[in-house]
Structure 1
Amino acid sequence: MFDAPTIGIIGGSGWLGRSIAQALLDKAFIPPEALVLSNRSGRHPLTGVRRSQVTLTCDNQALVERCEVIILAVRPEQFAEVEIFAENRLVISLMAGVPLAEVMALTGSRQVIRAMANAAAQIGKSYTPWLAAQAVSDPQKAFAQRLFETFGGADQIFSEGHLNYLTALVGTGPAYPALLARSLLEHALGVGLPAAIARRAVNAVVVDASQLIGPGYSVDELLQTLISYRGVTAAGLEAMIAGGFDKTIKAGLDSAASVASAMGPFVHSADTQEGPMTR
């Protein structure tokens, strides 16, 4: 079984690595003595009384030797500097655009999962799609799903192309809502609203009101309901749509997905659990 392994996070002081480490402890997913973090600074990234029981190292290979599960939470351009040999260990890569084949080649592990968490892990709201190499066992997959659920929701997918697309869609975390919020805020300030009022109003629209999506309404149902009133909201929505809102959003996703797909070489379908790869 694969129930209580020791987990190591390389890049454990970064935004994502630190958030995941904190979630693993806060949810009691593993005891603190079963968590090892590595970073280049040597500074401890965690808070709370249990942090003293978490092992901290600057030696990535030393982390590997102590752990059954290795989480790579470094930037893609830093991957070559990691220099680990992790044969017979489950390696979970959170690096955008780095294919399974490349992770396997540079870590020596055939048991590799690619996952795309995002910054919302900090508040337990990341959506994390993940893709398993063929050698990953069913118990390891079940373990990975539980691990990802400590900081949000997760789904297994079966195409590297789909994971690259989801990197562009959900790997961005709060970036797209933040861009919308900035446009709304700039407009509100432009008409003379006090800054504090404008910020609270924009937060109410982007963060609070958007929570209506899902529990009681689908996106289409909500939009059609609001447009059908033929009032202020309808006027705003119809002007945005006519101005190319949909086209702009889709062009942005196309551009981001293209970058994600181009970051590493194409991976043959034999390296994944099932299904052909797409670009």
Structure 2
Amino acid sequence: MTRPTIGIIGGTGWLGSAIARAMLKAGFVEPSQLILSSRSTTGLSGWPDVACTADNRELADRSDAIILSVRPDQFSTVEIGARGKLVISVMAGVPVATLAARSGSDRIVRAMPNAAAEIGKSYTPWFASDGAKAEDKELVRQLFATCGTTDEVFREADIDYLTGLSGSGPAFPALLAQAMMDHAVAKGLPRDIATRAAIAVVAGASQLLGAHYVSPEETVRAFLNYRGTTAAGLQGMIDGGFIAAVSAGLDAAEAAAVAMSRTG
């Protein structure tokens, strides 16, 4: 596949910058094939050949594919003309219809990477409009593979749901870690030890889920069947409403994403 020139509107923000760095590190694009727009005209450090402009319309004119990486509430101020070009949005809650109307393109992809793109561990689901071409989809697959793992979904509603689930990045694991830390401190442990212990569980030991290709269900079942201290802890969490609380949280996140889409 011939690599296109890719422009990132909001390219020096945390997500736009993470995507840019991932593409460059993987060799998906050369620095000369990347254009960023931002209020700052300073390109990415370490890649001095990356072009940077304060003019979104100039970026759109020079790019074959355009990534929109601005806050959803700022999108109304973004002026681009992208007719006939691939437009990839990583904004939460802005529907395909709005993206098409504002950009002038019918080749639209909505994607939802998360903060782990910064370390190449993002999960990025994406949805393509009817106007997106086969080569557009292949480019999107390869592009977001530089940030981690990726899946195409076939209903726009799935992106709204996954915005709340996987788009949360470290937020939900951080809440679990915080609850563990607070409990440990209440039991008398120093906060620095409580912090290291909780992070070791949430950010360290949890990587075994991916390393051993064992499903979460199998892991939980195995520990419950072992009938040890972990089984007692798991059962206490389940009996205390942990699963119901997670479901309520995901429902609330989905509802917020759907509401954003309706007003987007």
Contact 1:117-1:129 at 8 Å conserved across structures: yes
- Cα distance between partner residues in 1 of 2:185 and 2:161: 35
Matches within 5 A, 1:117-266: 117-214=113-210, 215-265=212-262
Contact 2:61-2:81 at 8 Å conserved across structures: no
Q: Give the alignment's Cα RMSD to 1 decimal.
A: 1.4
- Cα distance between partner residues in 2 of 1:4 and 1:60: 21
- Cα distance between partner residues in 1 of 2:60 and 2:77: 15
Contact 1:98-1:263 at 8 Å conserved across structures: yes
| Matching of residue 22 in structure 1 with residue 18 in structure 2 | no
Gaps of 5+ in 1: 268-279
1:107 partner letter: S
The offset of 1:32, in angstroms, is 0.2
Q: TM-score, normalised by structure 1?
A: 0.91
1:90 partner letter: L
Gaps of 5+ in 2: none
- Cα distance between partner residues in 2 of 1:71 and 1:22: 14
1:241 partner letter: I
Q: Which residue of 1 aligns with 2:52?
A: 56
- Cα distance between partner residues in 2 of 1:4 and 1:216: 33
- Cα distance between partner residues in 1 of 2:87 and 2:2: 16
Q: Secondary structure at the match of 2:168?
A: coil
The offset of 1:195, in angstroms, is 2.6
- Cα distance between partner residues in 1 of 2:10 and 2:263: 26
Q: Which residue of 2 aligns with 1:47?
A: 45
Number of equivalent positions = 263
Q: 1:28 to 1:216 in 2, by over 3 A?
A: closer
Q: Which residue of 1 aligns with 2:76?
A: 80
- Cα distance between partner residues in 2 of 1:230 and 1:74: 49
The offset of 1:230, in angstroms, is 1.8
Contact 2:115-2:169 at 8 Å conserved across structures: yes
- Cα distance between partner residues in 2 of 1:216 and 1:16: 28
The offset of 1:169, in angstroms, is 0.5
2:231 partner letter: A
Q: TM-score, normalised by structure 2?
A: 0.96
Task: State the percentage of identical aligned residues.
Answer: 51
Give every structure 1 segment of 4 or more consecutive aligned residues whose post-TM-superposition deviation is greater than 6 Å: none
Q: Secondary structure at the match of 1:130?
A: strand
The offset of 1:265, in angstroms, is 3.2
- Cα distance between partner residues in 2 of 1:228 and 1:158: 38
Q: Secondary structure at the match of 2:149?
A: strand
Q: Which residue of 2 aligns with 1:276?
A: none
